[in-house]
Chains A and B, each alone.
Chain A
Amino acid sequence: MITQIIKFLRVLASEAAPLQISMGIALAMIAGLTPLFSLHNLLVVFVLLTFRINLAAFILALALFSGLAYLLDPLFHSFGLSLLQRTEMQGVWMNMYNSTFWRVAHFNNTIVIGSLVITLLMFVPMVLIMNVLIKHYRTHVLVYLNNSKLVSWLQSSKLVTRFSSMMES
Chain B
Amino acid sequence: MKSIRWGGLITFVILFIIVIVAALFTGTVLKPVLESAFTEMNGAKVDIDKINIAYSPFTLEIDNIQITDPSEPMINTAQIEQLRLVLSFGRMLMGQLVIDDASIVGVRIDTPRKESGEIVKSASQETSEAKVEEASFDIPGFDFPDIDELLAKEPLQSEVLLDKLEKDLAEIDKQWIKTKKGLPDSEKIDSYEKRSNKIKQDAKGNTSQKLVAIKDAKVLIEELKSDVALIKQAKAQFSGDIKHVNKSIREVKSAPSKDVEHIKGKYSLNGAGAENISRMLFGDEVATYLAMARKWYARIKPYLSSDEATAEVAVERSKGVDVKFKEQDPKPEFYVRVASITADLPRGQFEGVISDISSDQSINRKPMHLKLQGVAMVGKESEVLSAEFNYVDKANSFTKINYALTKSQIEQLTISQSSQLPLDIKAALMTSKVNARLQKGVLSGVAKTQFRQVDFESGNTSMFASAFEGVKAFDIDARFSGAIGDLSIQIDSDLDSQLGRQLKAQLVQKRQQFEEDLKARIDEKISEPMARIDAKKKELDDLKQRIDDSEKQLQKKLAALKETVDKNKQQKKNIAKDKLKNKLKDKFGF
Contact = CB atoms under 8 A, between A and B. Distances in A.
B461 interface: no
Nearest to B6: A50
A50 B93 contact: no
Nearest to B95: A103
A46 interface: yes
Interface string B321-336: 1111111100000000
A50 B323 contact: no
A114 B91 CA distance: 24
Given A51-B5, A97-B327, A110 B12 contact: no
Contacts of A45: 12
Interface residues of B, number: 27
B319 A81 contact: no
A42 B319 CA distance: 19
A104 interface: yes
B346 interface: no
A52 B4 contact: yes
Contacts of A76: 320
A110 B2 CA distance: 39
A110 B93 contact: no
B321 A77 contact: yes
The interface residues of chain B, by DSSP majority, are classed as: loop
A50 B315 contact: no
- Most A CB contacts (10 A, CB to CB) among B3, B4, B320, B328 go to B320
Contacts of B90: 100
Contact of B318 (A46, A111, A114): A111
Contact of B327 (A35, A98, A111): A98
B3 A108 contact: no
A69 B320 CA distance: 13
Interface in B83-106: 90-91, 93-95
Given A94-B326, A103-B93, A104-B94, A51 B4 contact: yes
Measured as residues with beta carbon below 8 angstroms from the partner, the interface class of chain A is 20 to 34
B568 to A, nearest CB: 154
A94 B325 contact: yes
Interface in A112-148: 112, 114
A137 B12 CA distance: 33
Nearest to A109: B320
B323 A49 contact: no
Contacts of A84: 323
Contact of A49 (B5, B93, B318): B5
B317 interface: yes
Interface in B290-337: 315, 317-328
Contacts of A52: 2-5
Given A49-B8, A70-B318, A109-B320, 8 more contacts: A52-B2, A52-B5, A76-B320, A77-B315, A77-B321, A81-B321, A93-B325, A111-B318
- Across the A-B interface, give the 10 residue pairs with the lowest CB-CB distance, nearest first: A111-B320, A49-B8, A97-B325, A103-B94, A110-B320, A100-B90, A84-B323, A50-B9, A49-B12, A109-B320
24 contacts: A35-B318, A35-B320, A42-B16, A46-B9, A49-B5, A50-B9, A50-B12, A70-B317, A70-B318, A73-B318, A76-B320, A90-B325, A94-B326, A98-B325, A98-B327, A100-B90, A100-B94, A103-B93, A103-B95, A104-B94, A109-B323, A110-B321, A112-B320, A114-B320
